[in-house]
Each structure stands twice: as structure tokens, then as C-alpha cells.
Amino acid sequence: MRMQASRASKVWALGFSSLLMASSASAVTAPSEADSSLSGIAASKIGIRTLRTEERESLTESLNSLAAGGQAAVKLDGRSGAPRLISGAPLMFTSSLTDATEDDYIRVARRYVEEHASELGFSPSDMKLNANATLLANDVQFVSFKILRNGIEIQDANVDFRFKNGALVQVANKSYSEAKVAAGADDHLDLQGVVEKALTPKSVAMTRELYRVVPEGRGYKLVRVAEFNTLTQNNKLYVVEVDAATGEMFEVRPTEFNFDGVAKGEVYERTYYKQKAVTLPYRDLYISFDGGGISTDGDGKFTGLPNKAEPAVKGFQGKLVNVEPSSGELVNVDGDKAGNSWTLEFKRSSNEDTSADKAMAQSMTFYHLNKEIQHAKRWINAKWLNKQLTANVNIEESCNAYWDGSTVNLFSAGNGCANTALIADVFYHEWGHGLHANTSGIDDRAYSEGFSDACALLLTRNNLVGPGFRLSNGAPVRDLKTMKVYPKDSNTEVHQEGLIIAGAYWDLFVELKAQHGEDKAVEVLSNFVLKSIFTTHSYTDVYDALLTIDSKSGKSNDKSENFCSINKSFSRHGLAKLDKTCDAT
């Protein structure tokens, strides 16, 4: 027996609807990532509408009829006044079940509805079992039904029957049987055409029709919608619902849930030589997946990965650094998933010779160039620091590295030398040439060598440049303690001449460290080295520039904060006149 006629008049026309508060019953969750295919659709239509009702206790005993012969505690919908939660102990005296099957509980549930169809506003024929929601435990037993109207399912409409020790004690009635179907579903509308016009998708297929419950006035209405699986030009799948009465877009719902992850891997903190590999996160690294890509943040983390995507690192490419191996295999890392989170972890092969490892060379270069860029960004904002820098690694030559005017180039192991990408000092230095070329410009080659050694010093905090470069004894490329003085040692080989300024910076670092401690010394020296490269064209210009950078007052006669540290260090290398107020030790 259908109870359509009684809907809207029988139960909720009980005279207290005027006491009811309107409640907000709909929330839209927007997708985390914008899809340009949706640009023509109102933002309010994109996302997932969630229907939540607010309920209030009944003020009347007139609903006791919902408990057969007993008292029912009833909560009413705060908007429509329909009975939402009916509790009683029990609701049906005749229905205490023992050793019952699922069918027995279903039968009781249907009978309850049949006996109270006029109050509930629907009948057993409107119920469709949701078998997945059945729980038959020792203490409680639950059965649940989806609710149909005119044979079509209503989204969000469920009725749940809760039994305690076999007795029906609670009915949660979200049937929305009080809602009327919005007028005028028009079968002549071309609903698929609406989707095609709005999204210009790659493919679209209608899956079903259903009703959506929409809050309206003091109640709800049912909107009949047609649902389409829609694949956009960006390869994203949406469920698109179109109002069958008006042909308007009802909801564009992403099918993808987003996953998080982290990318990390083994690197040496400085060099393969006498150091153990450690695992550290890769910042600003591209993670690729079928049909898309995503980047890690400053902590190596990423969010917003589509649910079916299988992320992978296909070579070390990122926003700021692109590592191109000339030989050896491009590093590929597949993800491991645990829960909602992916981990992409590069691990060094234990079979590789540590001084020649071509995979580790890629990891090292990517990690440390990013580290150097971030370090520099703390003091300077050169445009070059925001451009992607290419580093060619595993070049099939040996015992060198170079800056070619636009890229960093690092050689493979051989002829008694390690792979130069396994020693961060080496490409810290080559990067320094890149910064020099992209700030004041490299007019003075010896200055560029000395400046680049100083760039390595800022990160290594060490006088040696490139420990482990020579395989036989681990000898570095240079030692900043090598005493070189201007003008005596000028006009020699450029790297040797560069030690005049690099040595002055090293001495300054030692002075600052004694004064401020190592961390502060690195801060002060970074400020000097990185800022002065914008405004100096020869290493003999640096001293005066540093006094300006170090000055608090800006008055050139005032001694700057670190005046004596700078003066002593630079005078030792012939780059300044020793000031008599500074101790010359």
C-alpha cells in the first residue's frame, strides 16, 4: 500500500512547524585542485554536496503511536518537522528475536514501516535493502534501507533500524518522504548535450537517474537529476549531475580522492669520502604519474595526488634543478603506499663503487644544488635563483667539472679521480660561477674561482675544497689555508690566484667564528660573499664593498661592526691596508 496521499499532511502538519528553526542542511566540499576543464562552471556547482539535518526533540506526545503500545521519544527534523529519530524500548513488543537471521530483521523492519506508513510517509515498497550496512552482532543488530521515489533512488535518503538484543529500539528515518518532487522533469531536454557544452569532455556516458534532496523553505524538495561519468580533456573523471527539469548543472563531483606523500633518498651530507650516506627529503622535486605531475614542497612532501595515480620519480627534475645524466641509468623510483600516504625513496645500490656511483651522483647533485639555492635565497634575490638550473652529471670524462655559461657539468670517476658529483664542494663551486655570471658578470676569472670556492665554504664550513677528489689519498682540489697574497701571487693560474680572495674569506670566517660562534659566522659571511658579488667586478674591489655591507650607519668614516675582522683578514692577503686600531695578530 503506497501512502503518497498522506505525505505532507499527516504527521508534520501537527501544528508545531512554526516553532521549528530553519537549519543549514547542505555543505559543498570543493576539490583541492583546479581543473581548467571546469572553468565554465560556477564554483558553487563544483564539489560534493553533503546533506546534514539538524534535529530537535519533539514537544508532543502525539507521536507515541510510533511505538506500538509504548512511549516513543522522537526527534524531529529542524526544518520540515518530519520524525527523524524514533526511539522506544521496544518499538515493537512482538518482535524480540532470538537466533534470528538477516531476513528476520528485514521482515520486522518492513512490518514496522507497514504499520506506521501514514506517520512515516513511505511504504515498504519504497525500501531497498542496503545489504552492506547489515550488522548482526551479539548485542546489537542493524539493518538499513535506501529509499526510492517512483522507483528512483534518492541520494542521502536512508532508513536505519537498530535492534538491541533482538528488540527493535530505534528507527533513524532519513527517508525525506515529506519532500515533494520539484515540478516539471522534461524528457525532451538533451541533458547529455548540457554536459558536452559545459565541459567539452573527452567522453561522457549517462549512468543513472536519481533524486537529490535540496533544502527549500521550511522543508525539502526532490530534484530529479541525470548522472554522467565525464572524462575531461585533462584526464580527470567527474560525476556530473544535471537537473532533469531545468537542464541546469546540479553538481560536478570529482571522483578522485587525494593522497599525500614524501620523496626522500640517500645522499652524503657533503662527500662520498669517509662519510656514510644519510636519507634526506628532496625539496621541489617533480613527481610524475600517468596523466600528470606534482611537485614536492620544501620538506619533500606532496599532497593532492589523485587516488588511482601511481607516483614515481623519473629522474631528478624539479622547479629549480634538473639533473641530466650523460651516462648511467636515469634514476627511477617507484612509490610505496601505506594507508593514504606514498613514500618515494631512493636507495643507493650496495654493489656500486662508492666513488663512482652514477645513481648516487644524481641524488647528490639534485639535493645539494637545491640546498645551495635555498641558502643563497636567505640573503639575495637574484632572478637566476628562480630559474631551473640544469646539471649534466656522469659526463664521460674524468677529474673535472665546469660551468659552461648556462649549466653545471660534472664528470664521471676515472683516471684516479672520483665522480665529481659525489662531492658537493665541487658543484657548490660550479654553481658559484653560475651566480657570478648572472649577477655582476665574470670579468675577473681569478675572482670567479675565489668567489666560487667561498660559495663552497659557506656550506661546507671547511678550508678544504673537494675532499676525496683524488682516489689514491683522498686529497682535495684546493686548501683555502694556502697563503696567497696580492699582488705577489696575482697573474698566476686562475684557481691559484683565486686563493687570494678565497683565503681572505677563509681567514674572515675564522675571525668571525672566534667572535660569534660558527653558525653566526656562516650567517655574516654568507651576507658578505653573496651580496658583494652584485657590486664588485674584481677581487680587489671586495674589501670596500664589504665595509659598506657591514656598515650600520652608512657613514664611511664609521668603523663597521666587523671592521677589524674584515680588515685583518683582507690585509693579510694584500687586499687592504692594516688599520692601526686593529690588532694585527
Binding site for Zn ion (CB under 5 A): 449, 452
| Cβ nearer to Zn ion, comparing 66 with 421 | 421
The answer to whether the bond into 90 is cis (omega within 30° of 0) is yes
Residues 542 and 535: their CA atoms lie apart, in Å, by 9
Between helices 563-572 and 494-516, what is the axis angle to 10°?
A: 150
**Torsions phi, psi for 535 (to 5 deg):** -120, 5
Q: At its nearest, how many Å lie between Zn ion and the CB of residue 452?
A: 5
Burial of 207 (0-12, 13-18, 19+ CB in 10 A): exposed
Q: At its nearest, how many Å lie between Zn ion and the CB of residue 401?
A: 8
Which cell numbers hold the place of 491?
697573474
**Torsions phi, psi for 340 (to 5 deg):** -95, 10
Q: At its nearest, how many Å lie between Zn ion and the CB of residue 266?
A: 27
| Cβ nearer to Zn ion, comparing 78 with 450 | 450
Question: Residue with CB nearest Zn ion?
Answer: 449
| Cβ nearer to Zn ion, comparing 242 with 477 | 477
**Beta carbons of 435 and 382 less than 8 angstroms apart:** yes
Q: Got the DSSP string for 383-404?
A: GGGGSPEEEEEEEEEES-EEE-
Q: At its nearest, how many Å lie between Zn ion and the CB of residue 259?
A: 43
* Cβ-based neighbours of 317, under 8 Å, separated by 6 or more: 285, 286, 323
Q: At its nearest, how many Å lie between Zn ion and the CB of residue 334?
A: 37
| Cβ nearer to Zn ion, comparing 90 with 434 | 434
Residue environment code for 70-105, b if the CB has 16+ CB neighbours within 10 A, otherwise e: eebbbbbbbbbbbbbbbbbebbbeebebeebeeebb
**Torsions phi, psi for 238 (to 5 deg):** -125, 150
User: Quick one: CA torsion of 501, 506, 508, 509, rounded to 10 degrees?
Assistant: 140
Residues 20 and 434: their CA atoms lie apart, in Å, by 71
Residue type, 274: K
| Cβ nearer to Zn ion, comparing 331 with 465 | 465
* Cβ-based neighbours of 36, under 8 Å, separated by 6 or more: 234
Q: At its nearest, how many Å lie between Zn ion and the CB of residue 498?
A: 8
Q: At its nearest, how many Å lie between Zn ion and the CB of residue 402?
A: 7
Which cell numbers hold the place of 247?
537542464
| Cβ nearer to Zn ion, comparing 126 with 497 | 497
Which cell numbers hold the place of 431?
654553481
**Beta carbons of 413 and 355 less than 8 angstroms apart:** yes
**Beta carbons of 290 and 309 less than 8 angstroms apart:** yes
Q: At its nearest, how many Å lie between Zn ion and the CB of residue 395?
A: 16
| Cβ nearer to Zn ion, comparing 229 with 438 | 438
| Cβ nearer to Zn ion, comparing 225 with 454 | 454
| Cβ nearer to Zn ion, comparing 264 with 433 | 433
Q: At its nearest, how many Å lie between Zn ion and the CB of residue 449?
A: 5
Q: At its nearest, how many Å lie between Zn ion and the CB of residue 426?
A: 9
In order of 266, 409, 425, the CA distances from 322 in angstroms are 18, 12, 18
| Cβ nearer to Zn ion, comparing 155 with 452 | 452
